[in-house]
Structure 1
Amino acid sequence: MTDFPSRQGGALRETSEAGSSSLESIQPEEAVSKFLSYKEPEIRPQTLKEYKRKLDHFIDFCNSQSVENLNQLDGRVIQGFRRYRRLESTDQREPLSTKTMRDDMYLFRDFVKYLEYIESVPSGLSDKIGIPELGWGEGVRDTNISIDRLEMILEHLRQYQYASREHVVWKFHAHTGRRPGGLYAIDLTDLYLDSDEPYVELRHRPEETELKNGYRGEGEIYLSADAAQIFLDYINQNRIDVTTENDREPFLTSRYGRLSKSTMRTYVYRFSRPCIISGQCPHDQDIESCQAAQSDDVASKCPSSRSPYALRHGYITSKRSEGVPDRFISGRCDVSPDVLEKHYDERTESEKRELRKEVFDKSQESSTGGYA
């Protein structure tokens, strides 16, 4: 979330002492509109819509409680909104999950920080917004695919669906660690497969195919000879020749044009079901009657199925465990060093120690003294 500039020195103390009389009056609808306008340059349109949908619940709460001026916001009102969001804001019978509440409260706290910044609520009010903590396994699915399992899936695709769209989707994610949006954005002109050092160029084209981090997410990603050959064979043997309205030739296509990200996601769910690869179910289900096994539309219901993120997560954590420097992973996978450290480090302290030992041992092999 955003770190807003803080009010300094005497201005901060003056605001605290004067109370709400020194605050700028603002209605809930206006506050949300200003916050979204502030965030718009740094987030995607889809994310902006999601923020608006979530903050509309706050506007509804304010209307129900006759809160017309957010100068009135205090700890009791915040606690009332928290309860309202969890228990009363939807038609569902059960309270919102801890994970949903956690995500919503992170956004709400960022919103209140913005109100502090524009001097519409007391400074420090955002500190009163607690963020629910997730329990073990609560709202979180296993985000990895083991290397052994991944190799089995890739071998299955190589043997039975070589150079198919499904094979390309799996190979791309397992080989690059990139997001689905990156694969979706690739045109034929972005691929350099015939060179001695094949690579793909990921480009941000706002008019049709955006990258999550915009132009910052652009870059050239090297490809192994094996990956390049699979991609090339797909183009020559299985690609449907289509051109978009913008006269672009997508890499992955269907009869309807550029292959959708939802279809790519379905491919990952489909082949990450164990029964597809081994013919056996680790969950003791009858495969013939299991809905998740029989229908690709609900393949994600299988407890063992995984999303494309699992492949990205597995790739990044694997490379970190192998000792690949974070700066190289960051550039290849379009992920910041801070996010790498926070979300992609599953090594134990012993594993970290062993890895450091290997790195320093190699360094000392070529040293002739001094700092060796």
Structure 2
Amino acid sequence: MTTDLKPIDPQEAKEWYLENRRGELADATYKAHKYRLSPFVEWCDTEGDVSNMNDLSGRHFHQYKKWRRENGDCNKVTMATQLSTLKVFIDFCESIDAVRPGLSDYIDPPTMKNKEDVNDDYVDAETAQAIIDYQRNFNYSQREHVIFELLWHTGMRNGALRAVDLDDYDNEERTLEVHHRPDQDTPLKNGKEGQRVVSLKPKVNQIVRDYIDHHRFGKTDESGREPLLTTRQGRISKTSIRSNCYRATRPCEYGLGCPHDRNPDDCDAASSYHAASKCPSSHASHSLRKGAITHARRSEVPIEAVSERMDVSADVLKKHYDKRTKKQEMKNRRGYFDNI
């Protein structure tokens, strides 16, 4: 062990790292780093017998990687993201004299092949329309209906939808303004760069108007603001928005038979309000966002317009969100060149 190193245990080093990154990482990214480092701290305590970061060597990382692969639900993508975060963490530890210089070079995250790190789970346009038809007929302008319509129509993240206030909605102009207010618990993933005004189709706008007039709870949040989407307690949480999406996207919920041959009376996912995510065919809000972006691209909406409306860079859009086949991409391009 190098004499110039300063003793520090893994948990404390993790806390130092997180405190150092708190001001520069978006809230969701900060939580992701905290989550990804937890298994390593656990391993140090229970398996690696590492109570002082000064004692770490390249051999420890090999042992940790083997333990993580054998004892956790850890696919190649998860392993890559966790080891990448660990590498950044160890690099920070080098800067505070907690580990020997150059130790982070011993961490070698798996290399992802093209699109290997892309999650292909998304809601297709046909499924979305079936859900919308059901909601408009049987659950009109209820909160769950409004959430689904807005996420599909705007393609925004659930954190952005949660951040919208009543005053951010303009019935006459048919618009929603999306603002970054981190000091009041409604940050946007991309900060002020994610601020925008989103237009609404007349039918979607009317649904929002009817929700406000008939079903919205007249609540304020802890900052005294009036959220557009409310519960009996105040501003809706991102978890609640996600849960609403799981419930709405169960096939048995929108009038289809169960594709998994389950009896709804005996199925927890069908009968329990909080277990909808257990349905293999249900989708989280992020899958809805992917589907909305893909639908826009397949409908030949220019990539610049999709990028600005849905707050996603062109590169990220192409890699993670655009689910068109090569043939669909060709058909979309054909119209631009046939008449040249």
Is this a same-fold pair by TM over 0.5? yes
Q: Does 1:68 align with 2:49?
A: no
Give 1:273 shift: 0.9
Shift in alpha-carbon separation, 1:142–1:297, aligned structure 2, 3 A = farther
CA distance in 2, matches of 1:328, 1:311: 18
Q: 1:190 aligns with which of 161, 168, 190?
A: 168
Q: Are the counterparts in 2 of residues 35 and 111 from structure 1 also a CA contact under 8 Å?
A: yes
Shift in alpha-carbon separation, 1:26–1:56, aligned structure 2, 3 A = farther
Q: 2:63 aligns with which of 80, 101, 119?
A: 80
Which residue pairs with 2:14 in the alignment? 32
Q: 2:148 aligns with which of 150, 153, 170?
A: 170
Structure 1 residues 205-216: aligned runs within 5 Å: 205-206=181-182, 207-216=184-193
Which residue pairs with 1:288 in the alignment? 265
Match for 2:87: what amino acid? R
Q: Does 1:101 align with 2:44?
A: no
CA distance in 1, matches of 2:22, 2:38: 17
Shift in alpha-carbon separation, 1:27–1:361, aligned structure 2, 3 A = farther
RMSD over aligned Cα atoms:
3.1
Which residue pairs with 2:324 in the alignment? 347
Which residue pairs with 1:155 in the alignment? 133
Structure number with bigger Rg: 1
Which residue pairs with 2:276 in the alignment? 299
Match for 1:313: what amino acid? K
Shift in alpha-carbon separation, 1:183–1:300, aligned structure 2, 3 A = same
Which residue pairs with 1:91 in the alignment? none
CA distance in 2, matches of 1:161, 1:244: 26
Q: Are the counterparts in 1 of residues 242 and 284 from structure 2 also a CA contact under 8 Å?
A: yes
Which residue pairs with 1:10 in the alignment? none
Which residue pairs with 1:11 in the alignment? none
Structure 1 residues 1-372: aligned runs within 5 Å: 27=8, 29=10, 31-45=13-27, 47-62=29-44, 64-66=48-50, 68-70=52-54, 73-87=56-70, 95-98=72-75, 100-114=78-92, 121-123=100-102, 125-126=104-105, 128-131=107-110, 143-195=121-173, 198-206=174-182, 207-361=184-338, 364=340
Give 1:226 shift: 1.3
Match for 1:48: what amino acid? Y
Give 1:140 shift: 8.8
Structure 1 window deviating more from structure 2 (284-293 vs 104-113): it is 104-113
Give 1:300 shift: 0.9
Give 1:33 shift: 4.2
Shift in alpha-carbon separation, 1:171–1:32, aligned structure 2, 3 A = same
Q: Give the SS at the match of 2:176.
A: strand
Percent identity (aligned): 35
Structure 1 window deviating more from structure 2 (328-337 vs 47-56): it is 47-56
Give 1:104 shift: 1.9
Give 1:309 shift: 0.9
Gaps of 5+ in 2: none
Describe the superposition over 1:45-104 as per-residue Cα deviations: whole angstroms up to 9, x where unpaired. 45434423542443454454346354x6443221012234445xxxxxx54332543432
Structure 1 window deviating more from structure 2 (333-342 vs 181-190): it is 333-342
Q: Are the counterparts in 2 of residues 175 and 315 from structure 1 also a CA contact under 8 Å?
A: yes
Q: Are the counterparts in 2 of residues 23 and 122 from structure 1 also a CA contact under 8 Å?
A: no
Q: Are the counterparts in 1 of residues 119 and 320 from structure 2 also a CA contact under 8 Å?
A: no
Describe the superposition over 1:245-275 as per-residue Cα deviations: whole angstroms up to 9, x where unpaired. 4332111122222233322222211121111
CA distance in 2, matches of 1:281, 1:131: 38
Q: Give the SS at the match of 2:82.
A: helix
CA distance in 2, matches of 1:183, 1:222: 14
Match for 2:110: what amino acid? I
Gaps of 5+ in 1: 1-19, 88-93, 365-372
Q: Are the counterparts in 2 of residues 101 and 132 from structure 1 also a CA contact under 8 Å?
A: no
CA distance in 1, matches of 2:32, 2:289: 23
Structure 1 window deviating more from structure 2 (319-328 vs 111-120): it is 111-120
Describe the superposition over 1:263-307 as per-residue Cα deviations: whole angstroms up to 9, x where unpaired. 222221112111122251111111222221111211111111111
Q: Give the SS at the match of 1:145.
A: coil
Structure 1 window deviating more from structure 2 (238-247 vs 306-315): it is 238-247
Q: Are the counterparts in 1 of residues 152 and 289 from structure 2 also a CA contact under 8 Å?
A: yes
